Amino acid sequence: MNTTAVSRSVQVSPRKVRLVADSIKKVSLKKAMHALQLTDKRASYVLLKTLKSAVANAVNNKKLREEDLFIAGIDVLEGSALKRFHPSSRGRVHPYKKRTSHIKITLKGKNE
């Protein structure tokens, strides 16, 4: 039985989140949490928070044991981008985007 947790409009670019997310795909839950706690990236904090939410959903809603869970998939999608401008010389501006991410973590039990 699949259990999911979603974090929307996270203030980290999808490219940076995917860099961390690819390191914990298809790994046991304990190893993934340990790796995220040791990773020194801002995206690891957001992924750890979403992962803990998915575990809580599985334990409380689906009555699964935490020891039997593993990560079935992590989807990192691009959210909305905030358009900002950097002032430049001669009265010009250079536009840039502050990108956001949507993170979806799917957990699965080992006996399924």
Residue-wise pLDDT tens digits, 15-46: 999 999 999 987 889 999 999 999 999 999 99
Indicate the pLDDT class of residue 110, thresholds 50, 70 and 90. confident
Name the pTM for this structure: 0.90
Residue 109, number of CB atoms within 10 A of its CB: 17
Nearest to 9 by CA among 96, 76, 85: 76
Residue 74, number of CB atoms within 10 A of its CB: 22
The domain ranges of the chain are 3-109
Cα angle for residues 72, 21, 66 (degrees, 5° grid): 45
pLDDT at 103 over 90: yes
Options 3.90.470.10, 3.40.470.10, 3.30.230.10, 1.10.8.60; CATH of 3-109:
3.90.470.10
pLDDT at 112 over 70: no
pLDDT at 46: 97
Identity of the residue numbered 58: A
pLDDT at 94 over 80: yes
